[in-house]
Structure 1
């Protein structure tokens, strides 16, 4: 482990020198990449300093015990050695996880899309519940949530809602939420008290920077319309809503949340870039067997990942067989326990796969 710490330290020092070089600062893409790597390596370097200090304590204690000339010092050394040795295994495990190669997209902001699936009005209400759950979770993390576009359900909730989340390591946290979420409950419209099953799909896209996707604006047709509210009625008389048509792929992106046409265009372009970036990402992941085989992979949008069962107050995370009887708190945004378990499962898989590397 000490050898690995030294390798990390060398790279850390190298980046420390690079990020102050004028040619690096002027290259935005390279500068951002190096800054992200610097932050990640600093975590490992800080842990490495603690690890080295503990190993040094063990070594010093062993020397005092071997000498044996001072009984009181020997007793203190034994205590010091036991204390250090008790901390080392957990610290080594933390460092092994930190040594796993990071997905460069994990630090990105995200564009999330929630769409009502099977279940009619109840599915739209559930999509609204999911949007509220994620909004509350993001707020608890200090992240910013901005609506991009939405289409209200006829009885509440959303047929579709698209929003941006900005903060630290957002994609690395929320990527596990991608897939089909199911709800089992008695709908508000049900008169006979029967439990129905409805679904909503969640898509999590890493937000693409301008230098990630070179968007040719000659291939994008911009349509300006008035914003609409529930039922399709116009809610303002200015042509501020934006609809983008990407001719090569046939993608259509809308944004009507802002009063300014310019701001709506900016947001719509972010979503378009992120969708195009995800298309390229999907091609790479399809060629990567480890990504494809991962049980917590977010690649398959049609995969049923989680069930929220109201009669039993139960939430089941199908990918890792986790069941929690805490539905009311979870649907109110307390989803960290689930995300932490999914992260642990993914890291365990990576550790198995990368044993030789780390």
Structure 2
């Protein structure tokens, strides 16, 4: 490990030297700055680890010194025990920091939620999930921008989507993709019988323009009049936009803004995310389930998490972890404990695979 750490430290020092040299352009400076940021935490722990190894060698030399008295050696031995524990912790942290990084971890996301099995109750649950993630974004100080919402008559959502941007959004939100199941007594249920319904969540990393190349010739862009609420504007202005990507067959429509330009920009953002998802599915086996396999059909049996209202219980089935604070999670977006548990589980799995 020492040889590997020495190379990382050397690389970090070279990056710092180049940043200080002034002989680089703006793009190189941005790229080097990101590399420095990615390595900074690892290098800090590596230097501390190497210092502890050096301190351990010094203590061992004291123990081997026949001229030292036994009382002093006992104190040194106690210090050595404490140092060994710190070294063991540093080794574990170094292994975590040296795990392969998710190339999408820093990306913003497109969030899509759809009502699954369960009719109107599933649509109401979809609206609960959407607001839950809106609250989570507030807690994390992320920007939550609604893209579109298709409502039902009593406040449920057939489907809803949003753009979430901020620090490390995908690294935390990626665990939310899948089928979320709810068990509760619907307000319309007079007999008090518990119903089970489901909603699907898809979290797509929002790619940079350089990640996905879209040729103008591959697009068909149609404008049309928006449907639904909107008063006179709906009747007079062809502001809605439909973009068809001919090679893939993907069709994206956007009509929430009164500006055709804004609708087109948002539709292109969604299209880029969907194309990036397709590329990821082809290029990486482990990402092959980005939406279709992660989300499944919306059937009750395909679930990653269950929200049981009568028992105030939320269980994540992937890590067999349960919280008894359903209102805090769904109404306040308090998902941090669940997310941290999922991150830890992934780290353990990656560590076992690397050994």
Q: Same fold (TM over 0.5)?
A: yes
Residue 106 of structure 1 aligns to a residue whose secondary structure is coil
Separation in structure 1 between the aligned mates of residue 165 and residue 18 of structure 2, nearest angstrom: 27
Contact 1:314-1:326 within 8 A present in 2 as well: yes
Change (3 A) 1:252 1:312: same
Instruction: Compute the TM-score of the two structures, normalised by the length of structure 1.
Output: 0.86
User: Which residue of the partner structure matches residue 263 of structure 1?
Assistant: 262
Contact 2:202-2:291 within 8 A present in 1 as well: no
Residue 347 of structure 2 aligns to a residue whose secondary structure is helix
When the two chains are superposed, the root-mean-square deviation of aligned CA atoms in Å is 2.8
Contact 1:149-1:254 within 8 A present in 2 as well: no
> How far does residue 224 in structure 1 lie from its aligned partner after superposition?
3.1
User: Which residue of the partner structure matches residue 310 of structure 1?
Assistant: 309
> How far does residue 297 in structure 1 lie from its aligned partner after superposition?
11
Separation in structure 2 between the aligned mates of residue 20 and residue 192 of structure 1, nearest angstrom: 72
> How far does residue 285 in structure 1 lie from its aligned partner after superposition?
2.4
User: Which residue of the partner structure matches residue 300 of structure 1?
Assistant: 294
Residue 42 of structure 1 aligns to a residue whose secondary structure is helix
Change (3 A) 1:77 1:258: farther
> How far does residue 265 in structure 1 lie from its aligned partner after superposition?
1.9
Instruction: Compute the TM-score of the two structures, normalised by the length of structure 2.
Output: 0.87
- Structure 2: which 5+ runs fail to align? 297-301
Bigger Cα displacement from structure 2, 171-180 vs 10-19: 10-19
Separation in structure 1 between the aligned mates of residue 20 and residue 255 of structure 2, nearest angstrom: 41
Q: Does residue 1:143 correspond to 2:137, yes or no?
A: no
Separation in structure 2 between the aligned mates of residue 65 and residue 252 of structure 1, nearest angstrom: 73
Contact 2:45-2:90 within 8 A present in 1 as well: yes
Question: Which residues of 2 match residues 1-358 of structure 1 at below 5 A?
Answer: 1-17=1-17, 25=25, 28=27, 34-67=32-65, 68-69=67-68, 74=73, 77-228=76-227, 232-235=228-231, 237=233, 238-286=237-285, 299-302=293-296, 303-331=302-330, 332-355=332-355
> How far does residue 36 in structure 1 lie from its aligned partner after superposition?
3.7
Q: How many residues align?
A: 345
> How far does residue 214 in structure 1 lie from its aligned partner after superposition?
0.7
Separation in structure 1 between the aligned mates of residue 323 and residue 304 of structure 2, nearest angstrom: 14
Change (3 A) 1:235 1:94: farther
- Structure 1: which 5+ runs fail to align? none
Change (3 A) 1:193 1:79: same
Residue 167 of structure 2 aligns to a residue whose secondary structure is coil
1:109-140 deviations in Å (ceiling 9; x for gaps): 11110111111111111111111111111221
Change (3 A) 1:50 1:22: closer
Contact 1:176-1:298 within 8 A present in 2 as well: no
Separation in structure 2 between the aligned mates of residue 298 and residue 11 of structure 1, nearest angstrom: 40
Contact 1:176-1:297 within 8 A present in 2 as well: no
> How far does residue 330 in structure 1 lie from its aligned partner after superposition?
1.9
Residue 80 of structure 2 aligns to a residue whose secondary structure is helix
Contact 1:180-1:202 within 8 A present in 2 as well: yes
Residue 47 of structure 2 aligns to a residue whose secondary structure is helix
Residue 208 of structure 2 aligns to a residue whose secondary structure is coil
Contact 1:8-1:45 within 8 A present in 2 as well: yes
Separation in structure 2 between the aligned mates of residue 298 and residue 4 of structure 1, nearest angstrom: 39
